[in-house]
Amino acid sequence: MKLSFIKETPLKVPYTTANVIGMLVNRLTAMLDELADNRPIVVVCIGTDRSTGDSLGPLIGTNLSKYRSPHFSLFGTLENPVHAMNLDDTLIEINRRFHKPFVIGIDACLGQVASVGSIQVGVGPVRPGAGVNKDLPPVGDVHITGIVNVGGFMEYFVLQNTRLHLVMKMSDIISLSLFTAIANHAHLSNGSALEQTAASDTI
Residue 169 has pLDDT above 50, yes or no: yes
Taking all residues of the chain, what is their mean pLDDT, rounded to a whole number? 88
Q: Which amino acid is at 118?
A: S
Percent of the chain with pLDDT over 70: 87
Residue 10 has pLDDT above 60, yes or no: yes
pTM of the full structure: 0.88
Q: What is the pLDDT of residues 61-104, one digit of tens each?
A: 999 999 999 999 999 999 999 999 999 999 999 999 999 999 99
Tell me if 181 sits within 8 A of 43, measured CB to CB: no
- The most confident of 29-38, 48-57, 190-199, by mean pLDDT: 48-57
β-pairing, 41-45 with 102-111?
parallel
Q: What is the pLDDT of residues 99-150, one digit of tens each?
A: 999 999 999 999 999 999 999 999 999 988 765 667 789 999 999 999 999 9
